[in-house]
Amino acid sequence: MTAPRSKEQPFHLQKAGKSIASPNEHRVPAPTPSVIAPRFAIIRDLERCIGCQVCVRQCSFGAQAYDSAEDEVYGIDANCVGCQRCVAFCPTSALTVTERPARYRQNFNWRSDVIDDIKRQAETGGVLLTGMGTDKPQPIYWDHLLLNASQVTNPSIDPLREPMELRTYLGRKPDRVDVSTDALRAEAYLPPQVMIETPILFSAMSYGAVSLNVHESLARAAADVGTLFNTGEGGLHRKLRHYGDSTIVQVASGRFGVDLDYLNLARIVEIKVGQGAKPGIGGHLPGHKVSADVSATRMIPVGTDALSPAPHHDIYSIEDLSQLIYALKEATNYAKPVSVKIAAVHNSAAIASGIVRAGADIIAIDGLRGATGAAPKVIRDNVGIPIELALASVDTRLRQEGIRNQVSIIAAGGIRNSADVVKAIALGADAVYIGTAALIALGCTVCQQCHTGRCAWGICTTDPFLSKRLNPEIGAQRLINLLRGWSLEIKEMLGGMGINALESLRGNRHHLRAVGLTEAEMDVLGVRVAGT
Amino acid sequence: MKPRNETERLSNPYNDDKVMAACSIFGMMDISGKAVPGGDVIRAIANMHDRSNGLGGGFAVYGIYPEYADCYAFHVMYPNNETRSDVERYLIKSFAIVHSEEIPTQPAPHIQDPPLVWRYFLLVDSDQRGEQSEEEYVFDRVMTLNTSFPGALVFSSGRNMGVFKGVGYPEEIAHFFHLEDYKGYLWTAHGRFPTNTRGWWGGAHPFSILDWSVVHNGEISSYGTNRRYLEMFAYQCTMQTDTEVVAYAVDLLVRRHGLPIELAAKVFAPPLWKQIDYASQDERTLLTMLRQTYSSLLLNGPFSVIIARQGEMIGLTDRVRLRPLTAATKGDLLFLSSEESAIRLVCPDVETAWTPMGGEPIIGRLRESLPLPKENLEVAVA
């Protein structure tokens, strides 16, 4: 794989002609002649443009080009993905990238995106791939839930003057503390508990899908803040192994990178059953992303496709899951909580109950709006249910069965800000995973091109030229800032509700009221309409 | 959410999930066990008249029924005689009734439209309870009665103790129930200032289950969390007030899980994690374990409470002390009160009076009774 690359000039040194020569022709299929109208317009203010070609060097999708004969920089709208990299880096603010208005005649049924998809499929004959979470307008229940605040009868608490506790322990809790036993003083009395200082964890994003610099940024930030990052299913690079105390390691259907060291260096071991962006299907890391480092970390040959089967081939039923849970507990000497991550689907509540009884210490539920490095578009946009409804029904069900305390719940999939975190905890979560929000902190603009491996922001790529665009030191600091800002905001909201420890908000739906929801929706969420 | 049953609709006119209230609380205990009449307690709570607004008052008295000391004394409110017949049929089926009578009352100027109030002295037949412990059996019957008979409410169910409460100022309720004629070694009292416009008889304090009683000043902002946790252990919060969860929580921790009351207080108002981090090894282990296991029973928001049971009275405030509580002693007497003035009114020559720290339980305990596992307490009690 290295041989052909060495013959090439680096992309940023190439002189692009009128026809775009891809810098990585062997990686990216040559563009098929397309009749799809370009979605974005690259508008260049020629009075401002100084012809410096920064945009040409920054664009990894071949949408900016330089014509040496004319000494002219110009845009190729058809290649533009709207990632805004060139706009951000243009030193004279000469560029605007905007969505083209009314590309087709307006039609509420045959929308532009629907027409584009059909045309694209007619051109390629394949499954349409995409990245990130669904961009369809499914209801976002967070925006229909409003928080409470104290007035008169209950003093609000000022977090700048009074203690305000966000510390959370993840892991199975017993039904009671038995003070009559001698075991009282033994540390091993409780099942293993993992402390986090803020209820926000970094969601699973595998090395290979994202760059090593992303992993390092996440690991450093998690260590600094006192929370955890999830390796995703692609193993943990040897360079990051000393961040084990800040790590959740994932065991997925492909078992990439799993060995005894990997399991034992982590704080939590997570079995990935499903993912909110693509419930029911597996994963596929194309061989061209499997570099030497990715190969060593995933323990697969260089250049081979990394295929994660849709199901675990040793889990065809709940009792099989239990076997894997206990196999992992055996392997880690019962010292680490085992988490099971599922996609939010129609019968999540019953599945979650089974997972608790199968021995899991933590359940992670990933909702419809969860993101992905690559998924069939039709799956991403149509399969699964919103996290709010799944979370509420799982929490309610586990309480009805009297087993809610036996498991910690992590909610994932579309958490956008600190208010979403607070609402998730009030609905019943112990903590949340954030993925997309963390990537946005690192520069992501949610342009949904992760599956191409050409991320201009150096995030979802293993191309060394692109991935070095993310400096892990700066990346870590940005993530630390994000978590700090959210944590401060969470404290403000808690204080307003007259609560000074996060645990008093968990499942406390009395602090939520609904606006604009149906009776049936409010019933599932367990909340009342605002004003009552 | 819809009301679950008729009781809620009838007894809580607004079907609020949680009724907020400010209040006055007072407690008085003679740790020698000497029974004292109600006069002092009534005067003390009346002295804090302005802390309530006439929408609820009540008292709990321990050592009140020595002649029926072995019987569970049920105090029951009825909307009418028809409901009373229904409930009595159920009681006859479930218990051996040693004695029953209407609780004597007298008209009080501002007490309007009182319900029928009866008391029953009950014994549990060992055949009837089967495998259940006597207390579990009684507990289940109380839960059933309070959810199955519209308008009827068992508001007192302990042995040798009794709760008296209703809508009115506490001194009016005392007059209504002739409380100056009763004697007990432990009294608690409550004057209520609910922030909705009507009181209802069931919503007055104390709240009681078995021989636990709770009077409470404050608003528990963790109510939803506490309630949903208790529901996992079959506690049904029928009265929809936050005080009820305190009674059930203490019942769960102390009676069913066997925690000493000192540790239960550490669950309700735990030290901050930072304080736990710096505690000695043993103490840290215990406190961490308690807080991890019972995090859903942390009582958050402003409160001061007086929790009582046979032989014990506990005063506690929230951990950042957002509601007042003063303690005082004289000889064998322990006083707990929202205001020190109320204590000094009835006992001008107190020996010590102080304001307890937030989260620090003040415990009065009958001398020579209720042996407790001391060795477990030492680590937890500062």
- B2-37: per-residue pLDDT in tens? 433 434 433 444 545 555 556 899 999 999 999 999
| Contact: B295, A404; criterion CB under 8 Å | no
- The neighbour count for residue A419, using CB atoms within 10 Å, is 18
| pLDDT confidence of residue B242 | 79
Q: Does A89 touch chain B (CB under 8 A)?
A: no
Nearest residue in chain B measured CA to CA from A155: B302
- Three-state secondary structure call for residue A444: coil
Nearest residue, CB atoms, A154 vs list B285, B295, B301: B301
Higher-confidence residue: B236 or A473?
A473
Annotation: CATH topology of A2-126: Alpha-Beta Plaits (3.30.70)
Amino acid at A366: D
For B84-135, the pLDDT digits (tens) are 999 999 999 999 999 999 999 999 888 888 999 999 999 998 888 888 899 9
Q: Where in chain A is the domain with CATH 3.20.20.70?
A: 144-177+187-529
Selected residues 481-520 of chain A with any CB under 8 Å from a CB in chain B: 497-501, 503-511
| pLDDT confidence of residue A181 | 60
Closest by CA position to A2, among listed A275, A292, A418: A292
Cα–Cα distances in Å, from B138 out to A207, B132, B163, B245? 60, 10, 17, 18
Q: Where in chain A is the domain with CATH 3.30.70.20?
A: 2-126
| pLDDT confidence of residue A185 | 52
Residue A330 CB contacts under 8 Å (≥ 6 apart), including other chains: none
Count of alpha carbons within 13 Å of B295, Cβ hemisphere only? 30
What is the CATH class of A144-177+187-529? alpha beta
| pLDDT confidence of residue B240 | 63
Nearest residue in chain A measured CA to CA from B233: A402
Chain A CB contacts of B322 under 8 Å are 155
Torsion sign over Cα A267, A273, A278, A283: positive
Using CA atoms in the order A123, A125, A126, A127, what is the torsion angle rounded to 10 degrees?
90
Alpha-carbon distance B31 to B158, whole Å?
20
pLDDT average, residue stretch B49-67 = 91
Is this prediction's pTM over 0.90? no
* Domain boundaries along the sequence of chain B: 6-377
- Backbone φ and ψ of A22, nearest 5°: -70, 140
In angstroms, what separates the C-alpha of A203 from chain B's closest C-alpha?
24
* Number of continuous H segments (helices) and E segments (strands) in chain B: 13, 18
Count of alpha carbons within 13 Å of A441, Cβ hemisphere only? 26
Nearest residue, CB atoms, B320 vs list A399, A402, A500: A500
Closest by CA position to A367, among listed A427, A448, A322, A306: A427
Confidence band for B196, pLDDT divided at 50, 70 and 90? low
| Contact: B258, A500; criterion CB under 8 Å | no
Q: What residue ranges in A76-189 does DSSP mark as E strands? A: 95-99, 129-130, 145-147, 168-170
Higher-confidence residue: B53 or B376?
B53
Asked if B23 is an active-site residue, the reply is: yes
For A236-245, the pLDDT digits (tens) are 999 999 999 9
| pLDDT confidence of residue B131 | 87
Strands A64-67 and A72-75: antiparallel
Contact A392, A427 (CB under 8 A): yes
Contact B161, B128 (CB under 8 A): no
Structure token pair of residue B69: 């000391």
For A461-520, the three-class secondary structure string (H helix, E strand, C coil) is CCCHHHHCCCCHHHHHHHHHHHHHHHHHHHHHHHHHCCCCEHHHCCCCHHHEEECCCCHH
Residues lower than pLDDT 70 in chain A: 1-33, 180-189
Closest by CA position to A220, among listed A470, A433, A476: A476
Contact A431, A199 (CB under 8 A): yes
For A361-381, the pLDDT digits (tens) are 999 999 999 999 999 999 999
Contact B364, B357 (CB under 8 A): no
Q: Does domain B6-377 have CATH number 3.60.20.10?
A: yes
Q: Per-residue pLDDT for B380 more than 50?
A: no
Chain B CB contacts of A508 under 8 Å are 222-225, 228
Confidence band for B277, pLDDT divided at 50, 70 and 90? very high
Selected residues 145-184 of chain A with any CB under 8 Å from a CB in chain B: 150, 152-155, 157, 162-163, 165, 167, 169, 173-174, 176-180, 184
Residue A454 CB contacts under 8 Å (≥ 6 apart), including other chains: A28, A60, A61, A461, A463, A466
Packing angle of the helix pair B242-250, B261-268 (nearest 10 deg) = 140
Residue B249 CB contacts under 8 Å (≥ 6 apart), including other chains: B226, B230, B264, B267, B268, B297, B299
| pLDDT confidence of residue B1 | 37
- Three-state secondary structure call for residue B354: strand
Alpha-carbon distance B162 to B74, whole Å?
8
| Contact: A526, B1; criterion CB under 8 Å | yes
- Three-state secondary structure call for residue A238: helix
Nearest residue in chain B measured CA to CA from A395: B228
Q: Does A405 touch chain B (CB under 8 A)?
A: yes
Structure token pair of residue A5: 């690359």
Strands B72-78 and B153-156: antiparallel
Chain B CB contacts of A169 under 8 Å are 292, 295
- Three-state secondary structure call for residue A68: coil
Tallying the residues shown for chain A, one arrives at 532
| Contact: A155, B376; criterion CB under 8 Å | no
| pLDDT confidence of residue A136 | 95
Contact A323, A363 (CB under 8 A): no
Chain A CB contacts of B222 under 8 Å are 499, 504-505, 508
Chain A CB contacts of B301 under 8 Å are 154, 498-499, 504
In angstroms, what separates the C-alpha of B293 from chain A's closest C-alpha?
5
Closest by CA position to B103, among listed B231, B33, B201, B216: B201
Cis peptide before A155 (omega within 30 of 0): no
In angstroms, what separates the C-alpha of B359 from chain A's closest C-alpha?
13
Nearest residue in chain A measured CA to CA from B1: A528
How many A/B residue pairs have CB atoms within 8 Å? 128
In angstroms, what separates the C-alpha of A194 from chain B's closest C-alpha?
11
pLDDT average, residue stretch B162-167 = 95
Contact A511, A150 (CB under 8 A): no
Q: In a mutagenesis test of the A interface, which of B289, B291, B323, B357 is the best target, namely the one with the most A β-carbons within 10 Å?
A: B289
Nearest residue in chain B measured CA to CA from A509: B224
Contact B25, B57 (CB under 8 A): no
